[in-house]
Amino acid sequence: MRKRLDLIYRDNYTADNLYALEGFRVDAVDYLLKPIGYPAFLKAANKAFKLHQAGNKPSPEILTDTDEGFFVKSDYRVVRIRFNEIKYIEGMREYVRIHLTDSKPVMTLLSMKALEEKLPSRQFMRVHRSYIVNLNRINMIERNRIIFDKNVYIPVSEQYKEAFQQFIANDFL
């Protein structure tokens, strides 16, 4: 009798909707609660099939974007990043660190290329393999380096130098 109660307890334990958040953290396509009804199962199966047919899965880290910003997953939180709050973005292999004006940097699992495609090109420019800068936040440029603070120097690499110099030339008096 004891084992039967244990199985029932475990089944009820796994049916808890609090574990849905963990499912999204591991990039689950959908989350089904017990008892699973056929319509819910069919909807989840169709969703998985459409993703499989498309040949790509949606970027799990950029959830939605708006005209003024986007949401990213960072640790176990979803954080809203506004375009005008970004100073610069630093690439760190498969992660990026988004440096903000008034708060601590936000680290998220995302590629520089995916993030660069989401950012408005009139406001952001890639100046190095590892850096994207907010053009509206640049205060000083010295010897092919963008200076944000006393301690923050962003290099402009040869690959991106021409496009960056063109931007400066357009705003130069």
Residue range 63-77, pLDDT digits in tens = 445 568 888 998 888
Asked whether residue 145 falls in the same domain as residue 77, the answer is: yes
Asked whether residue 82 falls in the same domain as residue 131, the answer is: yes
| d(C-alpha 57, C-alpha 78), whole Å | 19
Q: Residue 137 to residues 30, 93, 143: CA-CA distances in angstroms? A: 40, 24, 18
List, as own/partner pairs, every contact residues 19-23 make where C-beta atoms lie below 8 angstroms and the sequence separation is at least 24, other chains included: 21/76
Q: Name the domain count of the chain.
A: 2
For 128, the 3-state DSSP assignment is strand
* CATH number of the domain bearing residue 108: 2.40.50.1020
Asked whether residue 38 falls in the same domain as residue 75, the answer is: no
Asked whether residue 20 falls in the same domain as residue 89, the answer is: no
Q: What is the pLDDT of residue 41?
A: 78
Asked whether residue 38 falls in the same domain as residue 67, the answer is: no
Angle (nearest 5°) at CA 110 between 85 and 66: 45
Contact criterion met (CB below 8 Å) for 21 and 28: no
Asked whether residue 72 falls in the same domain as residue 153, the answer is: yes
Mean pLDDT computed over every residue of the chain: 79
Asked whether residue 101 falls in the same domain as residue 145, the answer is: yes
Asked whether residue 93 falls in the same domain as residue 163, the answer is: yes
Instruction: Reply yes or no on whether the pLDDT at 156 is more than 90.
Output: yes
Q: Find the range with the poorest average confidence among 2-11, 14-23, 77-86, 130-139.
A: 2-11
Asked whether residue 126 falls in the same domain as residue 142, the answer is: yes
Asked whether residue 38 falls in the same domain as residue 68, the answer is: no
Find the domain containing 19 and state its range.
2-54
| d(C-alpha 100, C-alpha 76), whole Å | 19
Residue range 117-129, pLDDT digits in tens = 889 988 999 999 9
- Helical segments of 67-151, H only: 112-118
